[in-house]
Amino acid sequence: MSAKREKILESKARKSQEELMGAVTLENITSDPRSQTVPTPSLRRLPLYLRLLRDYQAQGRTVVSCTQLASDLRFDPTQVRKDLALTKVGGRPKVGYPIAELIAAIEDFLGWRRTIEAVLVGVGSLGTALLGYNFSLYGLSIVGAFDSAPDKVGQVVHGREIMPIGYLTNFIRQRGIPMGILTVPASAAQSVAEMMVAGGVKAIWNFTSAALQLPDHVLVERADFSASLAVLTRALAHGARSLAPTIPKKEVT
């Protein structure tokens, strides 16, 4: 065999190997749904499905159709099917989705099958309510509560002793806590958030009206009650019938 032909064959073999490795790499990356970019609207709908699926399971049901889910939530069936496809759980024609498997898949997809620890700062009315809420269903455990008010420090609220704000950064750092919850007045939000970041939190659930300025690596999710309220007040002010189709019949959040 000539040297020229050997080089051509070697080149083709190398190219085929590179293409194969590229395909394998791509398959490995995309086979896990959690590695894909997920549309935010779909991500926000998944907890709604999960809540309803748990209700179905409590009623003794074992399977559910996409059409039933869509009807109960007043969503488009096609959209529901696309959202559930993110979990890689397949439905059977004329039977539906296995509820237990779908619940487990959504919990795993959202990261709710393992517990994430968080600290809460600002034990006022809202902070107290959040401390009393059962977040264990959503993979969240609030392990520390902090406040700057001397009369609150030392009190026990829903099983947690309120600590002084000065302990916050070291508490986060020593325990490796990844998440902070802000329920302080807006005027204090930025400084408290910076204390959280200094301790090493990677995500902040912001219940204040403040627009936080933090490093890009810190995820910030703002819980804005006014946005949800606006849907209702708009409907009531301009005729509830006009917006009724967009509001689920039953509370599922």
Residue 226: count of CB within 10 angstroms of its CB: 8
The whole-number pLDDT of residue 36 equals 56
104-156: per-residue pLDDT in tens?
999 999 988 889 999 999 999 999 999 999 999 899 999 999 999 999 999 99
In this prediction the pTM is 0.72
Q: Which domain holds residue 150?
A: 116-222
Weakest-pLDDT range from 23-27, 29-33, 228-232, 233-237 = 23-27
Do the bridges between strand 219-222 and strand 116-121 make them parallel or antiparallel, or are there none, so unpaired? unpaired
**135 domain-assigned:** yes
**247 domain-assigned:** no
Q: How many domains does the chain have?
A: 2
The last residue of one of the domains, among 110, 143, 167, is: 110
Using the predicted structure, report yes or no on whether residue 98 has a pLDDT greater than 80.
yes
Q: Which of 148, 126, 124, 111 is closest to 35 using CA atoms? A: 111
